[in-house]
Amino acid sequence: MNHGIAQFLASVAAAMFAAPAMCADEHIELSRRERGDLAIHARAILKQYCHECHGGSKSRGAVQILDYKELIATNPIPFVAPKNVPGSQIIQFLEDGSMPPGGRPRPSQADVDVLKKWIANSAPSFPVSFDDAGTIQTILDDLKSRGADGPFLRYFSFAHLISDKGPLPDLKKAEFDLKRALTMIGVGIDDFPQPVDDTATLFRFDIRKMGWENRQLFYRFDNRVAGDINSLSAYDVLLLDYPFGTTLVDKRFDDYFANAKLVRPIPYLRADWLSRSLLSGVNPLPLADDLKSLTELSAALKQENFPGLGQEGKMPCGPKVRPFGAAAKKPEPNFPILPLSAWHSGDVQPDPPPFELSAELIDETGKALTTVTKDKPFQLRVNSKQKLRFVLLLVTADGTVRLQQTNKNGLLDKEESILTPGPGTPFKIADIVTGGKKATEYFVLLASETLLPPITIVRSRHGTSMECEKAGQFPMYRFLFDRTKTPEGFDPARVVRKVIPIPVTVGTTD
């Protein structure tokens, strides 16, 4: 990490983790993060000690304790009067012992002090629940006030970290980690995501700050044949790897999705996932390199006034090549939509899987291989308990992607299928494209019980000079389903993806 970034991060950390001491009912100007934490803490106390009788299973009181608007309403005396601790009924009831009623657990004096502090500091609001529905409603409300900026706004959320049954999360650290990760890809302090709500668990980011609205970064490159400009953006690259989408997208987002033109209909990202995906310790991860490289490409294209395809001047090199799936890990648990087009994930399947599927490299005698020798024949053996539709992709060591034709024409047999490029023609790796004596290529097998949509392969408009090649920096590739040609009955949640590494050497096979 360079000295300038280190100094910047140190200043951000000092500002975020410094917290003034204060008396329970004293008003001291708090930071936005401190106000957010105070609101979350106050809500947790009200949930624990008051909610059961005021909104829960044994509800008998008129006030719904987690409905903030109702909580501060005058009926005729407000239950909570922002900035007025003595004039808040909740404090009066807690201090005279009338609530909670006899026999029920009572908040400690420390808890009461938190509530006083919260009220003294204007009682910042909180949602009824920190769940997907609450986050979506907050986003929709924010978009209404943003007008023409709406299509360029993206949202990052920490709300899922808050559990009614668990300890309060350290959101100072979570927010710092996010800012540290964004700094690594070039986001400046003045362009950081801004909080939307009082709890500072939802943040708004304008993608124009990074040139991520540019939709001229990629073009179709199916089987090494250049096509037209593809609309994939830098932010879309994040969406392709994001494992927490939802199949229950609110119809109220229809206009937003139509205008924002997102590659997947996902209204927000989990902010901690973004932090973890961009940065490990002080080292940027491959996804961070991808985004930083696309930002540089966007700036270069803008400087040339967005030339037509093939009319670019000298474009920056792509990111340093990393083997496909270098950061591959099984997707995070409990994800409702599969990241089938993810570049930095390995195998993908629902839990439980819709069907059994396995694949391995073999030689021509059927013996399993752990490495493949350059120019030597090999095959791909696939086992399944039923007939399946499939698509096979080949990702070479420099990141190039192509649709791989096979002898099975997109249909796997029941039990066992031996895949080759054609009848009687085995696979061969003719050359190690990145040089050296070994490399890893990959098969990506996508299988489904129904017909799959066509696959679109795209390539970035990064430079392809000898200088780039010598530095090991190549254009970026991605593959994605063509959503405009989705066959009837296709369900992405019933697709299994297998990534089969092909370790290539110039030596002998096992």
Strand ranges in 188-324 using DSSP code E only, listed in sequence order: 194-195, 202-206, 218-222, 225-230, 269-270, 279-280, 283-284
pLDDT at 256 over 50: yes
| H-run or E-run covering 153 | strand 153-157
pLDDT at 273: 94
Largest CA distance in the chain: 88
pLDDT at 59: 56
Give yes or no for a contact between 494 and 449, defined as CB atoms under 8 angstroms apart: yes
**Span(s) in the chain for CATH 2.60.40.2550:** 357-452+487-505
Name the percent of the chain lying above pLDDT 70.
89
357-452+487-505: which CATH architecture?
Answer: Sandwich (2.60)
Q: Mean pLDDT across the stretch 464-485?
A: 91
pLDDT at 443: 95
6, exposed or middle or buried, with CB in 10 Å at 0-12, 13-18, 19+?
A: exposed
Question: Which residue has better confidence, 9 or 394?
Answer: 394
Q: How far apart are the first and last CA of the chain?
A: 41
pLDDT at 58: 57
Give yes or no for a contact between 395 and 444, defined as CB atoms under 8 angstroms apart: yes
Per DSSP, what are the bridge partners of residue 463? 317
Question: Which residue has better confidence, 233 or 347?
Answer: 233
pLDDT at 322: 73
pLDDT at 56 over 70: no
Give yes or no for a contact between 460 and 214, defined as CB atoms under 8 angstroms apart: no
168-199 residue pLDDT tens: 899 999 999 999 999 999 999 999 999 999 99
- Among the residue ranges 25-34, 134-143, 205-214, 459-468, the one predicted with the least confidence is 25-34
Pairing label, strands 379-384, 283-284: unpaired
pLDDT at 338: 66
pLDDT at 82 over 60: yes
pLDDT at 449 over 70: yes
pLDDT category, 262, cuts 50, 70, 90?
Answer: very high
Q: How many CB atoms lie within 10 A of CB 46?
A: 23
| H-run or E-run covering 37 | helix 32-49
Residue 85 Rama label (left phi>0; alpha psi -120 to 50; beta): alpha
By three-state DSSP, how is residue 302 classified?
helix
pLDDT at 63: 78
Asked if omega into 352 is within 30° of 0 (cis), the reply is: yes
Residue with tokens 């994001």: 242
DSSP secondary structure code for residue 307 in this structure: P
pLDDT at 363 over 80: yes
Q: What is the pTM of this model?
A: 0.87
Structure tokens at 331: 């997707």
- Among the residue ranges 206-210, 455-459, 460-464, 483-487, the one predicted with the least confidence is 483-487
Q: What is the 3 state secondary structure string of 453-493?
A: CCEEEEEECCECCHHHHHCCECCCEEEEECHHHCCCCCCHH
What's the number of CA atoms in the CB half-sphere (13 Å) around residue 426? 18
Q: Mean pLDDT across the stretch 368-385?
A: 95
pLDDT at 225 over 50: yes
348-351: long-range contacts, CB 8 A cutoff, minimum separation 24: 348/495, 348/496, 348/497, 349/496, 349/497, 350/493, 350/494
Residue with tokens 């409990």: 334
Counting DSSP H helices and E strands in the chain, the numbers are 12, 19
pLDDT at 223 over 80: no
9-51 residue pLDDT tens: 444 444 444 444 445 555 567 899 999 999 999 999 999 988 8
Residue 219 Rama label (left phi>0; alpha psi -120 to 50; beta): beta
Q: Mean pLDDT across the stretch 62-76?
A: 84
